[in-house]
Structure 1
Amino acid sequence: MQAELFPHPPGKGEQARRRLLLSALEKIGEKGYENASVREIADAAGQNLAAISYYFGSKEKLYAEVLDGIGAFLRSLIGPLAEESRRKLEEGALNPAGAVAVLKQVLGLLLGKQLGASEFDKIRLVMMREQAAPSESFDILYQNSLKPLHQTFCRLLAVATGEEPESTNVILRAHAIFGQVLVFTICRSTILRRLEIDHFEPQHVSTIAAIIEQHLDRLCGPGPFPSPLS
């Protein structure tokens, strides 16, 4: 089943609540938290202004639930693979080659979701804003979702390279590897112009995935791993 943003049980009230969350996600992504007014959020959701107070209490709490929902979406997207990876790591059932294979799965999944038509497009602008200038609610997203996923990726990378999972080298290296995927979202307009295309076709996604896998193979290849910080 495809991951969904702000899933809700059936019912008119829950549908209105979800529309407000989606509207807040869109308007805050476009304008930023301070510039997106509660009135335009409510109007875009087809609700009256009082609905925000009724369902969430305040704009701040509405946005906190938006970030919590983004985290839940990311966990539903990557969670099953991350959970299986954590289980194998706890059992010592992953060798370096197996860890690299799982890393490729994670990166391929993220790449496909970011570049394909998916819910990822809806969260992209808010995620970029939170990275550039974290709000007071950023910790909800970081502690519940981003940090655990990043830690699992670091543990996999540590198995693949023989380094310590919480070392500065591994944390930075894991982020750099993630960056190879994220740059195609953050700098999408530039690469589309360079390729002289309007959007990514499946063959572009396959080529990007193959390049990232080649980089990962070289990074985690045999031999002593160079440490730039040693």
Structure 2
Amino acid sequence: MMKKQRISPDETKLQLLKAGMHLFGLQGFEGTRTRELAQMAGVNQAAIPYHFGGKEGLYLAVARYVVKRGSDQMKSEVEMIQHTLRDGKLVKVEAEHMLMRFFFAFMDNIILSEDLSDRSRFILREYSTPGAGFEIIYEGMLGKIHKLLCVLVGTIEGENPESERVILKTHALFGTVVGNALTRNLLFRRLDWENFTPERIERMKQAVAEIVCHGLNLGDPNKYLET
């Protein structure tokens, strides 16, 4: 009889995080059983309290994992904006290119992620029923990104980035980009696509650039697509 291969503690934790992201997103916290989590992860059920203190601890760890995945993927764009803001006054033309670069990077990095389906489902559930997981995602990633994008939009519009108008406009533009990921099944059905490809992402960038340029009066979208 072959011995079952043992996996390392780090791999055990990762497998549980991935299983949690899938099942909590699909069934919610209350609807998910620890036995299901362990089975999907391919580990002993005792590994959940051992590594995370229980189901709630795993749920909170999944929210932090989602934050880390997104933050790592958008790190260079976020740091570029933060660095520019620290170094001095942001000018309109810089803000325009940074905003478009951020949106394009989101589409390249997030939308083509292999775990997009599970991640977006988990985030959507947290959006619909905000709890401790939503707070972790908001404080760790979404809130910070939203505020930085408001600074860019506020600079482009010549308005206070914390004004209601700028926050609403930023939210509408960000929602246009995020919606490509969260509502991808609608897009797949309408266009008879089975998945995203780099070529399809490029065509989506064209559409997003046109919407952003129209919404912020930035002129020809091709000037951002060519850079």
TM-score exceeds 0.5: yes
Q: Distance in 1 between matches of 2:61 and 2:113?
A: 24
Deviations 1:4-52, CA, capped at 9 Å, x for gaps: xxxxxxx811111111111111111221211111111011111111111
Question: Which sits farther off after the overlay, 87-96 or 130-139?
Answer: 87-96
Question: Which sits farther off after the overlay, 107-116 or 145-154?
Answer: 107-116
Q: Distance in 2 between matches of 1:209 and 1:12?
A: 41
Aligned equivalent of 1:8: none
Residue type of the alignment partner of 2:97: A
Aligned equivalent of 1:55: 51
Identical columns (%): 27
On the 8 A contact 2:38/2:48 being kept in 1, the answer is yes
On the 8 A contact 1:100/1:217 being kept in 2, the answer is no
On the 8 A contact 2:150/2:167 being kept in 1, the answer is yes
Q: Distance in 1 between matches of 2:59 and 2:137?
A: 11
Q: Distance in 2 between matches of 1:68 and 1:30?
A: 18
Aligned equivalent of 2:210: 214
SS at match of 2:196: coil
2:118 to 118, 122, 129: 122
What is the alpha-carbon root mean square deviation over aligned residues? Answer: 1.9
Give 5+ residue unaligned stretches, structure 2. 1-6, 219-227
Give 5+ residue unaligned stretches, structure 1. 1-10, 223-230
On the 8 A contact 2:74/2:109 being kept in 1, the answer is no
Map 1:95-106 onto structure 2 (within 5 A). Answer: 95-106=91-102
Query: Would you identify which runs of 4 or more consecutive aligned residues in structure 1 move more than 6 Å?
Result: none
On the 8 A contact 2:157/2:216 being kept in 1, the answer is yes
Map 1:172-183 onto structure 2 (within 5 A). Answer: 172-183=168-179
TM-score by length of 1: 0.85
1:105 deviates by: 1.0
Aligned equivalent of 1:38: 34
TM-score by length of 2: 0.86
Q: Is 2:141 the counterpart of 1:148?
A: no
Aligned equivalent of 1:7: none
Q: 1:109 to 1:93 in 2, by over 3 A?
A: same
Aligned equivalent of 2:75: 79
Aligned equivalent of 1:132: 128
1:221 deviates by: 2.5
Q: Is 2:21 the counterpart of 1:25?
A: yes
1:137 deviates by: 2.9
Q: Distance in 2 between matches of 1:117 and 1:146?
A: 18
